[in-house]
Structure 1
Amino acid sequence: MPISLVTGGAGFIGSHVAEVLIAQSHKVIVLDDLSGGSLMNVPSKAVFVKGSITDPVLLAQVFDKYKIDYIYHLAAYAAEGLSHFIKRFNYQNNLIGSVNLINEAVKHEIKCFVFTSSIAVYGGQTPPMTEEMNPQPEDPYGIAKFAVEQELKVSKEMFGLDYVIFRPHNVYGERQNISDKYRNVIGIFMNQLMKGESLSVFGDGGQTRAFSYVSDMALVIAAAVENKAMYGEVFNIGADDACSVKTLAELVMQVMGVHGKINHLEERNEVQHAFASHGKLCEIVGAYQQTPLRDGLMKMAEWAKSSNHLPSKKFELLEISKKLPPFWK
């Protein structure tokens, strides 16, 4: 039985990947500090270890105790827009923590390191983004993700560490933290509607994204270690069809059954159009499941309305307040 470590396995995408791995007869070790996840998300058959990838001592203990074959690294603080204002926190959690994990992977000769990077590494280049493009991240979050990609590349060259890198984009679905006002626009919209608030849209809502249903992503990510043709490669993964934020707001109101209002806020510094080509991935794994946006939103809405959610809380570790959007203050 292969043993897989899933970092961030109490969180959103990580818990779904852990679930798929268990169904595929992996023994799963979930490592999570519960800063953004919940014990309720951890599959019952997984071994849970509370802790952070920023703790190298704890990581060494985990790797010494469990003979880990594969790493699925999904732990991150994925607030892309907020990353401008939490630079040190961003790099400590998303870069240095990842390096701690890579160190242990090298020392314990892990068979494959699966890393979820982000479409943010492309920055504001003209979509659709392709893997052949030269990454040009425009925020600290994207910079950290690309740095980890480069670290994996040199670790392969120096130490023979095999890896697979995925660049997902705008993933949504059940178990997303909809109480987090700094990230995940679909969750933010659903939470606002349930509280009777207007939907907050930056600018005119013409920004476009391709929104990707989490179960579709988890199936492909979990299976990556079984396909040696994927080793040492980078893959975009997500939905093909882009949607404007304004259209998304209308769709969310429909599936939630609430006729809300849109509150247009001042434009913020963000990439206006971001969606990717998935041709490279399809060449190797074939056409993978892509749940239509409305269908995925219906499933998420049903979950959101029937689940208990923590209240929204202010991020207390802001390092820079200059130019912080009023919505986040």
Structure 2
Amino acid sequence: MNDFAASFDGAQVLITGGLGFIGSTLAHRLVAQGARVTLVDSLIPIYGGNLRNIAGIENQVNVNIADVRDQYSMDYLVQGQDYLFNLAGQSSHMDSMRDPYADLDINCRAQLSILEACRKHNSKLKVVYTSTRQIYGKPDFLPVDERHLLHPTDVNGVNKMAGEWYHIVYNNVYGIRACALRLTNTIGPRMRVKDARQTFLGIWIKQLIEEEPIQVWGDGTQIRDFTYVDDCVDALLMAAASPAADGQIFNLGSDETINLRDLAALLIEINGAGSFDVIPFPADRKPIDIGDYYADYRLIQGRLGWRPRVALRDGLLRTLEFYRAEREHYW
């Protein structure tokens, strides 16, 4: 990443969803690299924003409490920016099924508002959009590469797919430099752990520290890959700094795969205590489960030189240590 650090020294950077898990971790890195950072977040309680996430840099960033659905706010906020990391979104798969219109509003209409603000008020900035592996749905083959058909299993996947392609269309038609990263399960400090809205691993961490059994849904044989948040931030910065990323879509992934039963056992081993129960899927969860998934990330490796650096065990250890110390701010 040192090759790209100079790209952000003194740069004006806007991060939507900036008080959330990935956005705040990105903000910490950008501040260290000399960027002038503005964070936009609605702080709606059911989403991931948390002011504690910027502890240590709160006086080095500008925080704007605004909703990306507010066209007038975005028209103003994009002005003068060199980079926009567009991380704001509704990430809960179940919430998207219970309230599809809210998901549509945040993950589709708001994305158009952001891109229209860029087109009208700052067409020179670079936009990096965080998409999701959920848009692939149940994989036809493994590992999943970017040529895999898109057939999402839930409303969230459909709307995230649309949000991703709005960015690519605006790149291709209007020349707004934009790219998308399809994230897999991202883990690490600052992720939401009070419930499973952001990632199932969050609630597992909470259950483990609370000395409650981890609940593994299904039969526990579902295979997943995980990206540590610092590796995810590396990819975001590389994509922003590199012209080779313009108009492109990249998977993130891992060199390690693990099934959920073994993941629960690994967490318990690292923690030094705990237990897990394998229970049937809740009735509303089974129809949208994607089964096994792990990504082929060779495209971003070949184009940008990215590859994951933090091993799964190390990432889980760092995450557990963080929440043992910070639980009062995240429970």
> Scaled by the length of structure 2, what TM-score is found?
0.89
Residue aligning to 2:53: 41
The residue aligned with 1:8 is 17
Aligned to 1:113: 127
Change in CA separation of 1:306 and 1:220 when aligned onto 2, cut-off 3 Å: same
Aligned-pair CA distance for 1:29: 0.7
Deviation string, structure 1 residues 232-286 (Cα, Å, up to 9, x no partner): 1000012132111111111111222222231413362200011110110111222
Return closer, same or farther for 1:99/1:194 CA change in 2, 3 Å cut-off: same
Q: Decide which of 283, 292, 298 is 1:273's aligned counterpart.
A: 292
Superimposed CA distance per residue, residues 140-165 of structure 1 (whole angstroms, 9 cap, x where no aligned partner): 11111110122122212321111111
- Note the 1:212-223 alignment, pairs <5 A: 212-223=227-238
- AA paired with 2:119? V
Inter-partner Cα distance in structure 2 for 1:281 and 1:252: 29
Tell me the distance in 2 between the aligned counterparts of 1:272 and 1:289.
23
- Once the two structures are superposed, what CA deviation does each residue of 1:65-85 show, in whole Å capped at 9, x if it has no partner? x51121101111211244222
User: Tell me, what secondary structure is at the counterpart of 1:16?
Assistant: helix
Q: Give 2:277's match in structure 1, choosing from 262, 265, 279.
A: 262
The answer for the alignment partner of 2:138 in structure 1 is 124
Q: Using the alignment, how far apart are the partners of 1:183 and 1:168 within structure 2?
A: 12
Counterpart contact for 1:171–1:238, Cα < 8 Å: no
Residues 61, 256 of structure 1: CA spacing in aligned structure 2 closer, same or farther, 3 A cutoff? same
> How is 1:275-290 mapped onto 2 (pairs within 5 angstroms)?
275-290=294-309
**TM-score using structure 1 length:** 0.89
Q: Is the 8 A contact 1:242 1:275 kept in 2?
A: yes
CA distance in 2, matches of 1:200, 1:93: 30
Q: CA RMSD in A?
A: 1.7
**Match 1:17 to one of 26, 39, 48:** 26
Contact 1:178 1:309 in 2 (8 A): no
Counterpart Cα distance in 2 of 1:57 and 1:159:
21
- Paired residues for 1:90-169 under 5 Å: 90-107=103-120, 108-125=122-139, 126-169=141-184
Deviations 1:93-149 (A, max 9, x none): 222221111111111214211000011111112221111222221211111111012
What corresponds to 2:257 in structure 1? 242
Whether contact under 8 Å (1:240, 1:277) holds in the other structure is no
Query: In the alignment, residue 320 of structure 2 is paired with which amino acid?
Result: A
Superposition pairs of residues 183-222 of structure 1, within 5 angstroms: 183-222=198-237
Task: Note if contact 2:119-2:176 (Cα within 8 Å) is conserved in structure 1.
Answer: yes
Q: 1:292 aligns with which of 311, 320, 326?
A: 311
Matched-pair identity in %: 26
Alpha-carbon distance in 1 for matches of 2:34, 2:239: 15
Displacement of 1:310 in angstroms is: 5.7
| 1:41-92 C-alpha deviation (Å, 9 max, x unpaired) | 13331111011101112222323xx511211011112112442222112111
1:325 is matched with none
* 1:70–1:111 Cα contact (<8 Å) kept: yes
Match of 1:87 among 100, 115, 130: 100
SS at match of 1:133: coil
For 1:174, the equivalent position in structure 2 comes to 189
SS in 1 for 2:327: coil
Does the 8 Å CA contact 1:200/1:265 hold for their aligned counterparts?
Answer: no
CA distance in 1, matches of 2:328, 2:114: 31
Q: Secondary structure at the residue paired with 2:166?
A: helix
Q: What is the alpha-carbon distance in structure 2 between the residues aligned to residue 224 and residue 20 of structure 1?
A: 15
Matched residue of 2:279: which SS? strand
Which residue is equivalent to 2:6?
A: none
Q: Which runs of 5+ in 1 are unaligned?
A: 313-329
How many residue pairs get aligned? The number is 310
Deviation sequence 1:168-226 (CA, Å, 0-9, x none)? 10000000111123341221111112223221121111111101100111012123222
1:75 equivalent among 69, 88, 108:
88
Task: Give 1:111's aligned amino acid.
Answer: L
| Change beyond 3 A, Cα 1:33–1:149 | same
